[in-house]
Structure 1
Amino acid sequence: MSKIGDYQNVIKIYDTTLRDGTQGAGVCLSADDKVKIALRLDKMGFHYIEGGWPGSNPKDMEFFKRIKQHQLKHSVITAFGSTCRPGVAPAEDVNLNSLLEAGVQATAIFGKAWDFHVTKALNTTLEENLRMVRESVAYLKRHGLTVFFDAEHFFDGFKANAAYALSVLRAAAQAGADALVLCDTNGGSLPQEIYEAVTRVAQEMPGLELGIHAHNDGEMAVANTIMAVQAGVTQVQGTVNGLGERCGNANLCSVIPNLTFKMGYQTVPRENLVYLTELSRYVYEQANLSPVANQPYVGESAFAHKGGMHVSALLKEHGTYEHLAPELVGNTRRVLMSELAGISNLLYKYKELNLDKNSPEGRQVLEQLKNLEHRGYQFEAAEGSLELMLRKAMNGYQEPFQLASMRLILEMREQQPIHSEAVIKLRVGDEVVHTAAEGNGPVNALDNALRKALETFYPEVAKMRLSDYKVRVLEEKVGTEAQVRVLIETGNGQKTWGTVGVSTNIIEASWQALADSMAYGLLPENKI
């Protein structure tokens, strides 16, 4: 094992997001999606990108055709498959020949390393399984391919019958496999078990490249991968964001920075890790999945601080409550405002407002913040409303507009859509604007009327777009008398911001959040 600061040892990163990752529930990538992700992985400097299983579906074969149109700078595209079937020669096996048709330089084929699977799943003999492994690897090698042998269920097989599991590895090695990848396919092994098994393999087969492929069913995939590296593997397989079948695979967004920053190994180019958070969110977007906020290293909350004591210490030294500088992985530090906040949160978050530590305005806002959160407000996702509240408590803030009156008209007719119209009267400076607008529902009508009234005075309003609208019922037991919280997200093409409103009347809550969204967007530093 190398020491921190020693970059002589290189751990090769093998990504299987495009194959194993797509086996996760709810994950579906088109051939075009897979090409886009592959190009991002290449940009990051991943060593190998497993594009799919060409023998299983035409979409994966289409990916291999399309990716050839691109000149990759760092990554080698690999195709995945299995050994030949029992009783079938490799040259006659459709699956193996599809790997050749994919036109790749490298392949990964799996074979059974657990005697239980050989006899029960394959319904064949232990000796025939060794023949399938040996001849399949040799067949692909004769065609000039780099061959990685994935020993499926290796760790379960090692625990059940170590001698046979090791004999499977020897069969692949004798046939010329370029690396032996030990798979925790059921994801139930513990770190110490991984370490002991890999150590045994490394001792009995010195000089062979070993890899690890860990699943996360026991939530140990990252830890098991780290232990395997400590025991001697030099190829790490996993997926971006840990996507994969059942509970997923080893999460490369955690494995890579752990190996690089905590253990001193060379993985992808160190300078490229500033794009890790961007890569994580890009893959989520392509897979049409919501990012996991508390995901280590790359999650939105990975470096979010809420407690007042934490932020007070953070102001003195970031290392007091952060294990790593977020900038190293392309993430950002966030200070959240809530009833747990202290004056330090305000000082850190709004440094540009020159708020004094002993400022009565700051103390006033903090007290107001805690009272509002007690009533149901939530400012973690509504920092626009929070900043406006702070600015209003300080001298010099001029509200861009004030509501004089508002009226909503809803008309329901049999077998016709509901007609919604909003009539508002605003004070903008010394002028009074009185206008009306229709919309798809009362809130949309109110939004349209507000924009219509403001655009003459503030043309930049035309660039603001409401991108999200959420309603949460508070105190559900009181039914229709309950308070509701409305959270609105707005953007202007360059940045987004959140605002909040709370009331027993959903229209009033919506107005509070909507008015704040416009007022915040009209702050001088937010204009475009």
Structure 2
Amino acid sequence: MDTTLRDGEQTSGVSFSASEKLTIAQLLLTELKVDRIEIASARVSEGEFQAVKKITSWAAANGFLDKVEVLTFVDGGTSVQWMLDAGAKVMNLLTKGSLNHLQHQLKKTPEQHFKEIAETITLAKSKGLSVNVYLEDWSNGMRNSANYVFQYLDFLATQPVDRVLLPDTLGILTPYEVSDFIKQLIAKYPNTHFDFHAHNDYDLGTANALEAVRCGVHGLHLTVNGMGERAGNAPLASVIAVLNDYQTDVKTSVCEKSLYRVSKLVETFSGFRIPVNKPVVGENVFTQTAGIHADGDKKNNLYHNDLMPERFGRERKYALGKTSGKANIENNLAALGIQLSDQDLKIVTQRIIELGDRKEVVTQNDLPYIISDVLDSNTIEERVQVLNYVLTHSKDLRPSVTLKISIDGDIFEEHAQGDGQYDAFMKALGIIFEKHGKILPVLKDYAVRIPPGGDSDALCETIITWADGDKELITRGLDSDQTVSAIKATQKMLNLI
């Protein structure tokens, strides 16, 4: 089960729009071919409700409705009604899997909790819903109150539930504990379907997922790019790769070749940048840098393992820099269809090493220029529009801006100076809003990056985080000019508020 759209969206600063959720849900089920998806928590917001309706409507029309799940609560039937209104059919009921949570958060006895759970399950089944049950903080429950966990599972064995979901809520388990706990449960409840839900706080999510499968667990919960609270969840790509290579008696339906493509789409929608060295989907994981590795690849693939890039729709690359050797550069030249004499190759190699020493990044696309040198590039209602501006930057003069904007059709013009062109733009904007009794949100964070797959001359993406009272907004702008991309991100913010 992929829970990117529910647990993954609990990543700090991430919020998918309804259309983004629908697109991701479609790709997860039709292209990646995961078995199930958990798409939301009930009762969160009106926006979440509308997103779920979009997904369930599409899923019902395409035969996927039984694969779409929603996190629900023991709340006297409110979540059940929310499910029915949203068109969802499978509920994942959140309950307490440790005595510590039960006593200190709910302040109830096991008998009281079980009674309310039974009532919720009975109501859900009477409305035609399927029910799975989460045992929140199950890992601590097994560590510190195993008698309660078994008392609870004895009770669940009497209930019409399809799956029991076992979360390592705080990411505390070691593979040894996973093995011990899963074996105990499967031996005692052989007819119960158990899912394991790993978090990654100790960077053991993938190892724990592998161990759970080795010990007979029936399902795993994963997220694209390992998204999730704190250190995230067990990452889908890594777990699928390790299962395919190290647990060969188990087969999954997941399409390996789609893992990278879906990873990049989720990265773009979420704004959650994945590390370049993240296994399977990181930009650098199929890039050889050392010249000796490139040379070894030419001699019987001495530096290859089973994680071949072609499995994931990718290709091996050879980085260019100060550790590049002749073989590394030859591989890049061959990809471009360029051949050099040994003497010219030696000169080009030395030039690339010099650039690497200055920490400059050299790409394959730079090679022809180096050779030449050495040898002779909508869902927001637009009530506010930035119509025009003049930005100036001169030596020994403060940057300034003349700005013209439209607010609900009314035109305003202002001039201001600042410490930079964008600062001047924000000061002029602030003057316009102050005259009308409004205060702009506070800029909290400002990040600039080349979008995934871009080159040094590509479009520039500016990501700005704003504080608007007790709310936080994140907007993005895209343009070939950094200041213009920041202005576009700002216009989105103005329309959101």
Indicate the TM-score class for this superposition, using the shorter chain for normalisation: 0.7 to 0.9
Q: Contact 1:45–1:74 (CA<8 Å) still a contact in 2?
A: no
Distance 1:306 1:491 in 2: 24
Q: Contact 1:114–1:153 (CA<8 Å) still a contact in 2?
A: yes
From 18, 25, 28, the counterpart of 1:38: 25
Q: Contact 1:54–1:102 (CA<8 Å) still a contact in 2?
A: no
Q: Which moved more, 1:201-210 or 1:69-78?
A: 69-78
2:198 equivalent to 1:207: no
- For residue 256 of structure 2, give the secondary structure of its aligned residue in structure 1: helix
Partner of 2:276: 293
Partner of 2:68: 77
Alignment of 1:163-182 (within 5 A): 163-182=147-166
Partner of 1:19: 6
Alignment of 1:436-455 (within 5 A): none
2:369 equivalent to 1:388: yes
Distance 2:18 2:89 in 1: 19
Q: Contact 2:33–2:253 (CA<8 Å) still a contact in 1?
A: yes
> In the TM superposition, what whole-angstrom CA distance separates every residue of 1:314-344 from its partner, at most 9, and x where no partner exists?
1223462333111111222111011111101
* C-alpha deviation, 1:417, in angstroms: 4.8
Distance 2:302 2:124 in 1: 51
2:40 equivalent to 1:52: yes
* C-alpha deviation, 1:373, in angstroms: 2.7
* C-alpha deviation, 1:241, in angstroms: 0.6
Change (3 A) 1:294 1:414: closer
Partner of 1:464: none
Partner of 1:489: 456
2:207 equivalent to 1:223: yes
Q: TM-score, normalized by length of structure 2?
A: 0.73
What is the number of equivalent residue pairs in this alignment? 393
Partner of 2:354: 371
Letter in 2 for 1:64: V
Distance 1:353 1:393 in 2: 18
* C-alpha deviation, 1:412, in angstroms: 6.9
- For residue 490 of structure 1, give the secondary structure of its aligned residue in structure 2: coil
- For residue 144 of structure 1, give the secondary structure of its aligned residue in structure 2: coil
Change (3 A) 1:72 1:297: farther
From 158, 166, 183, the counterpart of 2:167: 183
2:244 equivalent to 1:260: yes
* C-alpha deviation, 1:202, in angstroms: 0.1
Q: Larger relative CO (CA 8 A, sep 6+): 1 or 2?
A: 1
- For residue 27 of structure 1, give the secondary structure of its aligned residue in structure 2: coil
Q: Contact 1:79–1:102 (CA<8 Å) still a contact in 2?
A: no
Letter in 2 for 1:41: L
Distance 1:68 1:77 in 2: 7
- For residue 104 of structure 1, give the secondary structure of its aligned residue in structure 2: coil
Distance 2:206 2:3 in 1: 15
Change (3 A) 1:340 1:105: same
Change (3 A) 1:124 1:336: same
Partner of 2:54: 66
Q: Contact 2:287–2:318 (CA<8 Å) still a contact in 1?
A: yes
> In the TM superposition, what whole-angstrom CA distance separates every residue of 1:459-507 from its partner, at most 9, and x where no partner exists?
xxxxxxxxx889xxxxxxxxxxxxxxxx972259xxxxxxxxxxxxxxx
* C-alpha deviation, 1:266, in angstroms: 1.9
Change (3 A) 1:217 1:469: closer
Distance 1:45 1:112 in 2: 31
Q: TM-score, normalized by length of structure 1?
A: 0.69
State the structure with more CA Rg: 1
Instruction: Give me the CA root mean square deviation.
Output: 2.8
Distance 1:355 1:415 in 2: 49
Letter in 2 for 1:38: A
Distance 2:16 2:125 in 1: 30
* C-alpha deviation, 1:135, in angstroms: 3.0
Partner of 2:475: none
Structure 1, gaps ≥5 residues long: 1-13, 85-91, 398-408, 419-439, 442-467, 471-486, 493-528
* C-alpha deviation, 1:103, in angstroms: 2.0
Alignment of 1:18-167 (within 5 A): 18-43=5-30, 44-70=32-58, 71-72=61-62, 76-84=67-75, 92-167=76-151
Show structure 1 runs of 4+ deviating over 6 A: 411-415
Q: Contact 1:187–1:218 (CA<8 Å) still a contact in 2?
A: yes
